[in-house]
Each structure stands twice: as structure tokens, then as C-alpha cells.
Amino acid sequence: MKVYFRGKIIEDNDAKISIRTNSFHYGTAIFEGIRAYYNKDSDTMYGLFVKEHYQRLLRNIKVLNMNINESLEELIEITKQLVLINQHKEDVYIRPIVYFADEAISPKLVGYSAEIAIFTLPLGNYIDTDDGIKTKIASWTRLKDNMIPPMLKIAGAYVNSALAKTEALKAGADEAIVLNQDGNIAEGSAENIFIVRNNTLITPSLSDDILEGITRHAIKTIAKDLNINVEERSISRTELYIADEIFLCGTGAQISPVVEVDGIKINTGKPGPITNQIKQIYFDAVKGKIEKYTNWLTPIIDKNH
Ligand code: PMP
């Protein structure tokens, strides 16, 4: 496997960082998670929202006082090259990470220089997308914007996600749902959340301490095209238990129906019709099967382009 490291595409085994690396100690790295989907029938491979993920990364690194040499266009091109060179003919996950490479002690964001590394790995379903998953409300609270901003994909912030997810797994659930400091629903450990009540889709707003998810945005687009009403507002824990449908969404998670929260069955305990409808459209769209959503895709293998 090849990776992008210090401005070059090189062998994975040659891409090493020192144990003295500043960001390794303080969690001051910002990463992204991008997917590329392989369609066996048409032998095509498309990156999903590649530009949007790198735009988010370039916007977000500013907050940690980071700068990288690569432009948006270069990052997209490097990513295409990497997936091609690694000869992936399967669904892949692409992980860019920007970090302070300096071998220096002190948790600060000035006086250091940032670098980007990018690697790819085959990735099927990260969590179940068919039968529905069991979730647990975490006893860990989501970070607030004035602690570690949840709007940025900061490496160190994922300690919060890891604690929540581990607690859920140990309790026999598949995934955690995390509340914010007000006790309202924020998101999953690494997914945004939607509920359905009376045929309306509801998702927490940006002021509820969530990541501004790219899949969340895509789902709002699908819903609008289906004439399904979408509300962005705070959701209480109780409203979750009595929702008609719930699903989690994210680049890794894709769309994952939630059929149980804290041992309470959601509606019939089966994935609901609106969730299934949106899921079907999403999975067709990411494989290039829906014309109006092809602007979501970056062709990586496509004989027609
Ligand atoms: N929330 C968190 C905390 C995440 O880590 C992710 C995954 N990136 C998401 C939501 C979903 O975001 P996206 O749809 O942009 O992948």
C-alpha cells in the first residue's frame, strides 16, 4: 500500500513519525474520513464528497492555527492517485490527517509547522446498515464548543467518542448516543442523528454541539427532494425513546437504522419506512446510479470520463 507523506506518495512502511511528534502527545491533529465506492457492475469508482471533505478540513485547520502547502485541487488529485495506485477494487475509506510534525514539547498552536498525511484502507460497513442497531445513551457528555470544538474533527476530541462507544459496547449495545451539556441529543460517537416523528425528519442543530456532517447535509437534500419536511432543533432524550424512527448517519457509518435505545424498542423495533427510503436513495447515489446526485461524486475509475 502507498500513502501520501511529507509531500510524496511513498510505501506505507516508509511513512514513520517520531515518538517526539508534538501532535501525538496533545491530540492536536485534525482529520477527515472520506469514502470511495466501487461499483462492480459498471467497473466504476467514485469518491463521495471529496471536495466537500477537503473544504471542511482546510476551513477547520485554521482554528488550530495550521497551514499546509497542498491546495484543495492538489488534495483531490493526490487522493484520486492514491486510490488508483493502491488498486482498490472495493469500497475504500480515505483518511487525511493534518498534524504538527515538530519534535517539540509544549501544548500550543504557535511556532509549529503542520503536515498532511493521507492513507487508504478497504472498508465495508462500519456498523450495520440493514437490520438496525442497538444504542445506549452515554454517561459521558459531548464536549462543548468552548472546550474542544465539536465542529472540528480534532483527534483529541475522539477520546470522548471512544469512551462513549466503549461504554455502549461493554453494555452489549452497538453504538452510543451522546447528550450535550443541556441534556439534549447531540450525536452518535462518530455519526449525526435523525429522528422521524409524524413524517417529519428532525436533527439537532449546529448549536447542539455536533459535527457539521456532510452526510447529514446530503440527507437533508434527499429529504427535500422527496418533499419530506426537515426540522433542525434540539431533541430531548425522551423524544428519542418515543420517536417513530431513528437513524445515524456519517461517511463511515453511512445510514444505520436504530431499533433500540437503552433497551427500549423504537416503534416496531424494525427499521422504519422513511429510513429505508432515504437509505436506498443514498446507496444508489453513492454508486453513481442517480443522475441528479452525480455532482456528489469524483470519478476515480470511469471509462466514460
Ligand atoms: N459526528 C461525528 C462526531 C463524526 O466523527 C462524524 C464522522 N465524520 C459525523 C458526525 C458524520 O460526519 P460526516 O457525515 O461528515 O462523515
Give strand ranges (E) for 132-217. Answer: 133-141, 175-179, 185-188, 192-197, 200-203
Q: Ligand 1 — pocket residues by CB below 6 A?
A: 33, 161, 187, 190-192, 211, 213-216, 250-251
Point out the catalytic residue in the list 80, 136, 153, 287: 153
Ligand 1 centroid to Cα of residue 32, in Å, is 9
The CATH H-level (homologous superfamily) assignment of domain 133-286 is D-amino Acid Aminotransferase, subunit A, domain 2 (3.20.10.10)
Strand partners, 117: 97
The span from the CA of 98 to the CA of 23, in Å, is 9
Ligand 1 centroid to Cα of residue 211, in Å, is 6
pLDDT in tens, 244-256: 999 999 999 999 9
Side chain identity at 300, as an amino acid letter? I
Q: How far is CA 86 from the centre of its chain?
A: 22
The tally of CA atoms less than 13 A away on the side-chain side of residue 30 is 26
Pocket test for ligand 1, best of 205, 209, 222, 251 (most atoms within 8 A of CB): 251
Pocket test for ligand 1, best of 210, 215, 217 (most atoms within 8 A of CB): 215
Contacts of 20 (CB under 8 A, 6+ apart): 103, 104
pLDDT at residue number 124: 85
Q: How far is CA 23 from CA 68, 150, 255, in A?
A: 15, 18, 32
Ligand 1 centroid to Cα of residue 28, in Å, is 18
Domain boundaries, the chain: 2-122, 133-286
pLDDT at residue number 304: 64
Q: From the CB of residue 130, how many other CB atoms can be counted at a distance below 10 Å? A: 11
Residue 258's SS3 state is: strand
The span from the CA of 240 to the CA of 225, in Å, is 25
Pocket test for ligand 1, best of 32, 191, 203, 249 (most atoms within 8 A of CB): 191
Cβ–Cβ < 8 Å for 242, 267: no
Pairing outcome for strands 192-197 and 200-203: antiparallel
Cβ–Cβ < 8 Å for 209, 142: yes
Which helix H or strand E contains 114, and what residues bound it? strand 114-122
To the query of whether residue 153 is one of the catalytic residues in this protein, the response is: yes
Q: From the CB of residue 55, how many other CB atoms can be counted at a distance below 10 Å? A: 14
Per-residue pLDDT of the chain (305 residues; tens, 9 = 90+): 999 999 999 999 999 999 999 999 999 999 999 999 999 888 999 999 999 999 999 999 999 999 999 999 999 999 999 999 999 989 999 999 999 999 999 999 999 999 999 999 999 887 888 899 999 999 999 999 999 999 999 999 999 999 999 999 999 999 999 999 999 999 999 999 999 999 999 999 999 999 999 999 999 999 999 999 999 999 999 999 999 999 999 999 999 999 999 999 999 999 999 999 999 999 999 999 999 999 999 999 886 65
- Nearest CA owner, ligand 1 atom 4: 190
pLDDT at residue number 291: 96
Residue 164's SS3 state is: helix
CATH code for the domain defined by 2-122: 3.30.470.10
The span from the CA of 48 to the CA of 285, in Å, is 9
The span from the CA of 270 to the CA of 153, in Å, is 32
pLDDT at residue number 267: 97
Ligand 1 centroid to Cα of residue 304, in Å, is 32
- Nearest CA owner, ligand 1 atom 9: 191
Ligand 1 centroid to Cα of residue 278, in Å, is 18
Please identify which residue in the block is written with the cell numbers 484543495: 72
The CA angle 235-240-246, to the nearest 5 degrees, is 105
Cβ–Cβ < 8 Å for 135, 285: no
Cβ–Cβ < 8 Å for 259, 270: yes
- Nearest CA owner, ligand 1 atom 12: 213
Q: What is the DSSP string of 277-297?
A: HHHHHHHHHHTT--GGGGGGE
The span from the CA of 288 to the CA of 294, in Å, is 6
pTM of the model: 0.97
